[in-house]
């Protein structure tokens, strides 16, 4: 009985989300138009229309849209639970997140006052014309950004996470072998290896996959050719769910762009293009303070990367539009974070004049542009690239910089990483700890960026295939632990944090899938 009620609620929620969407109006239009067709009979009009929609692929599109909504639907909650519980059920996490947000907003405001730059201003006409002209070459601008600094870096966020404590948890016992050696001291439930073996079945030793079985020394007939054929089938069926399942074994390079678009249910329709153009005109008309932060970030990170420097211009085109996209605010329903508000000059304190700033509610931090950079490898049509990035952000990336108890949230990932290390590499963990080189201090920056900029591009894309395939970021924590396991011999000889950082400085030669496979399936339990 309860289950039925639960399902009904979900159905109602999804219907509400899809009502009034573009897909809805398209379906209505199609249904109306098909009435003219001779095969539609009045007696069984419902069934005929349904079968028509099925044959023309519209049912599949609807299926994909529902599937997408199910991904981002918040977990079912009690009827009298306040909305903040949907964002984050644990109160101490909510408090910590609110405290963190206050800090960064304060930092942003103080930078604003120091530099005397307004949070937002309207551009003069000449400047607008200039920008339109240079829209595809914004990388050639050389604004003076020396006074700007990123609002925060992953390091600062880590300090915040380290200080998290659950007031209800009694940690007064003496430190023992059962206690947690790492930096994260909150009692969250994270999966251990036996549980993960059940979840990540397709990564097992007996299953073929890309990243391992497409090695040069293995004939493609054994796996690769068949996998590509299957991929083409999936693409022609246009089935989101099938694409997601397929992606667990990796996406072939030539099909990856289409498959990811399918999994994320992002087309490149006229509506998407128009939406992007709208955002672009928003950028042209107004200049935001965060724009300078974005510029600074791109110049510091992506422009200096050996591979991503080529895409500098795309990054501006995407990120500047992203900060003005108010539809991103929808994801705050299930994000523990709350969009920062600021007020119009002269009207502080009045609630009605408080605006969300930046318009999308996301304040970029140092390294934010690296979420977009690998995607430039797959998509070069700005409107499609934008759609894909936006979708990836509201599904996955937001969890990497907000404090929550979600299993894909950064807190859980850190805890999972430390637990895996403590259980399976206790000697290494103990040694590093003694040397003052807590492993999380090194691995944190990898996980916050989902390894973007640290791995070689093709390896990174194989990792992100699995993030999409399993709809979870846990694989990132497993990879971090696997990297430590791989370099354990060298790490056992370090005597300081700096030396440990040096051992783990260059990950560009690592092959991701063998590491994951060995760690998950070849570890002695």
Partner 1 sequence: MSKNKTAGYRGHHSYQKRKEAEARSFIRYRCGFTNTIQDVLRQRPGWVEVKEDEEWDFNWCDVGWLRENFDHSYMEEHVRICHFRNYYELTRKNLMVKNLKRYRKTLEREVGHVEAAKCDFFPCTFELPSEYHLFVEEFKRNPKSTWIMKPVARSQGKGIFLFRKLKDIMDWKKDGSRLEEQRDEAQVESYVAQRYIENPYLIGGRKFDLRVYVLVSSYLPLKAWLYRDGFARFSNTRFSLSSIEDQYIHLTNVAVQKTAPDYDPERGCKWPMQQLRRYLTAKHGAHAVETLFRDIDNVFVHSLQSVQKVIINDKHCFELYGYDILLDQDLKPWLIEVNASPSLTPSSQQDYEMKCHLLEDTLHVVDMEGRLTGREKQVGGFDLMWNDGPVSRENSGLETLGSSCFSPNTNLGKHWLTDIQWRRRFTVASFWLTCLFPGFQVVSMTEKTSYDTSKSCLARRAHDRLLLNVLN
Q: Which residues bind partner 1 (CB under 8 A)?
A: 136-137, 139-140, 205, 215-219, 222, 228, 252-257, 303-304, 306-307, 309-314, 376-378, 380, 456-458, 485-486, 488-489, 509, 511, 514, 518, 522-524
By beta-carbon proximity to partner 1, the closer residue of 126 and 217 is: 217
Q: How many CA atoms lie within 13 A of 299 on its CB side?
A: 18
- φ and ψ of 403, to 5 deg: -85, 115
By beta-carbon proximity to partner 1, the closer residue of 44 and 502 is: 502
Quote the tokens at residue 55. Answer: 């044959």
Closest CA to 340 of 516, 104, 33, 149: 104
Smallest gap from Cβ 521 to partner 1, in A, equals: 9
Smallest gap from Cβ 493 to partner 1, in A, equals: 12
Smallest gap from Cβ 325 to partner 1, in A, equals: 23
Smallest gap from Cβ 256 to partner 1, in A, equals: 6
Quote the tokens at residue 390. Answer: 């936006």
Cα distance between the two ends of the chain = 41
By beta-carbon proximity to partner 1, the closer residue of 470 and 486 is: 486
How far is the C-alpha of 19 from the C-alpha of 38, rounded, in Å? 29
Smallest gap from Cβ 155 to partner 1, in A, equals: 23
Identify whether the C-beta of residue 402 lies closer than 8 Å to the C-beta of residue 336: yes
Smallest gap from Cβ 257 to partner 1, in A, equals: 6
Identify whether the C-beta of residue 92 lies closer than 8 Å to the C-beta of residue 166: yes
By beta-carbon proximity to partner 1, the closer residue of 126 and 133 is: 133
Q: Report helix, strand and coil shares of the chain as percent, to nearest 5.
A: 60, 0, 35
Smallest gap from Cβ 516 to partner 1, in A, equals: 12
Indicate the helix (H) or strand (E) that contains 356.
strand 354-356
By beta-carbon proximity to partner 1, the closer residue of 70 and 222 is: 222
By beta-carbon proximity to partner 1, the closer residue of 138 and 190 is: 138
Enter the DSSP assignment of 473.
S
Smallest gap from Cβ 108 to partner 1, in A, equals: 29
By beta-carbon proximity to partner 1, the closer residue of 117 and 145 is: 145
Smallest gap from Cβ 216 to partner 1, in A, equals: 5
How far is the C-alpha of 174 from the C-alpha of 190, rounded, in Å? 23
How far is the C-alpha of 87 from the C-alpha of 90, rounded, in Å? 9
By beta-carbon proximity to partner 1, the closer residue of 137 and 195 is: 137
* 246 dihedral zone (left: phi>0; alpha: psi -120 to 50; beta): alpha
Identify whether the C-beta of residue 311 lies closer than 8 Å to the C-beta of residue 373: yes
By beta-carbon proximity to partner 1, the closer residue of 181 and 307 is: 307
Give, to the nearest 10 degrees, the angle between helix 270-285 and helix 382-395: 90
By beta-carbon proximity to partner 1, the closer residue of 102 and 229 is: 229
Give, to the nearest 10 degrees, the angle between helix 439-448 and helix 154-162: 120
SS3 of 151-190: the string is CCCHHHHHHHHHCCCCCCCCCCCCCCCCCCCCCCCCCCCC
Identify whether the C-beta of residue 324 lies closer than 8 Å to the C-beta of residue 359: yes
By beta-carbon proximity to partner 1, the closer residue of 77 and 136 is: 136
Smallest gap from Cβ 474 to partner 1, in A, equals: 21
Q: What is the CA radius of gyration of the chain?
A: 24
Identify whether the C-beta of residue 329 lies closer than 8 Å to the C-beta of residue 182: no
Smallest gap from Cβ 371 to partner 1, in A, equals: 17
Smallest gap from Cβ 137 to partner 1, in A, equals: 5
By beta-carbon proximity to partner 1, the closer residue of 260 and 393 is: 260
How far is the C-alpha of 112 from the C-alpha of 345, rounded, in Å? 13
Quote the tokens at residue 16. Answer: 């509400």
Quote the tokens at residue 132. Answer: 């339109």
Residues 6+ apart with CB under 8 A from 302: 308, 309, 311, 312, 315, 369, 370, 373, 453
For residue 122, the SS3 value is strand
């Amino acid at each position: 009985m309860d289950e039925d009620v639960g399902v009904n609620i979900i159905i109602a929620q999804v219907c509400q989300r899809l009502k009034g969407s573009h897909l809805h109006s398209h379906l209505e239009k199609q249904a109306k138009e098909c009435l003219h067709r001779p095969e539609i009979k009045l007696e069984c009009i419902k069934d005929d229309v349904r079968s028509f929609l099925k044959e023309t692929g519209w049912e599949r599109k609807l299926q994909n849209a529902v599937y997408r909504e199910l991904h981002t639907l918040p977990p079912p909650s009690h009827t009298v639970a306040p909305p903040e519980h949907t964002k984050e059920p644990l109160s101490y996490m909510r408090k910590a997140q609110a405290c963190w947000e206050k800090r960064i907003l304060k930092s942003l405001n103080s930078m604003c006052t120091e530099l005397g730059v307004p949070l937002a201003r309207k551009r003069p006409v000449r400047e607008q014309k200039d920008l339109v002209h240079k829209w595809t070459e914004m990388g050639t601008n050389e604004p003076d950004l020396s006074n700007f600094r990123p609002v925060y870096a992953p390091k600062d966020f880590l300090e915040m996470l380290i200080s998290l404590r659950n007031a209800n948890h009694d940690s007064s016992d003496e430190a023992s072998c059962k206690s947690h050696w790492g930096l994260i001291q909150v009692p969250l439930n994270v999966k251990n290896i036996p549980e993960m073996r059940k979840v990540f079945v397709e990564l097992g030793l007996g299953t073929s996959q890309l990243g391992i079985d497409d090695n040069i020394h293995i004939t493609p007939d054994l796996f690769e050719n068949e996998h590509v054929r299957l991929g083409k089938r999936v693409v022609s069926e246009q089935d989101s769910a099938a694409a997601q399942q397929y992606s667990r074994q990796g996406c072939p390079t030539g099909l990856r762009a289409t498959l990811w678009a399918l999994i994320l249910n992002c087309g490149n329709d006229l509506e998407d293009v128009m939406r992007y153009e709208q955002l672009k005109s928003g950028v042209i008309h107004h200049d935001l303070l965060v724009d300078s932060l974005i510029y600074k970030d791109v110049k510091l990170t992506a422009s200096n990367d050996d591979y991503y420097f080529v895409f500098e211009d795309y990054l501006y085109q995407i990120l500047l539009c992203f900060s003005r996209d108010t539809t991103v605010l929808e994801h705050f329903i299930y994000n523990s974070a709350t969009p920062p508000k600021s007020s119009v000059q002269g009207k502080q304190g009045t609630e009605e004049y408080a605006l969300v700033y930046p318009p999308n509610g996301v304040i970029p931090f140092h390294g934010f542009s690296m979420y977009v950079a690998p995607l430039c490898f797959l998509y070069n049509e700005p409107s499609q690239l934008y759609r894909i990035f936006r979708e990836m952000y509201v599904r996955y990336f937001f969890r990497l910089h907000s404090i929550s108890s979600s299993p894909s949230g950064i807190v859980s990932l850190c805890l999972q990483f430390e637990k895996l290390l403590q259980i399976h590499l206790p000697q290494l963990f103990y040694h590093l700890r003694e040397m003052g080189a807590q492993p999380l201090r090194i691995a944190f920056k990898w996980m916050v960026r989902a390894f973007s900029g640290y791995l070689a591009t093709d390896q990174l894309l194989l990792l992100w295939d699995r993030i999409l395939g399993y709809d979870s970021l846990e694989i990132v924590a497993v990879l971090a632990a696997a990297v430590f396991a791989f370099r354990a011999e060298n790490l056992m000889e370090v005597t300081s944090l700096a030396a440990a950082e040096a051992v783990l400085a260059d990950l560009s030669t690592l092959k991701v899938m063998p590491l994951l496979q060995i760690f998950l399936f070849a570890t002695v339990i």
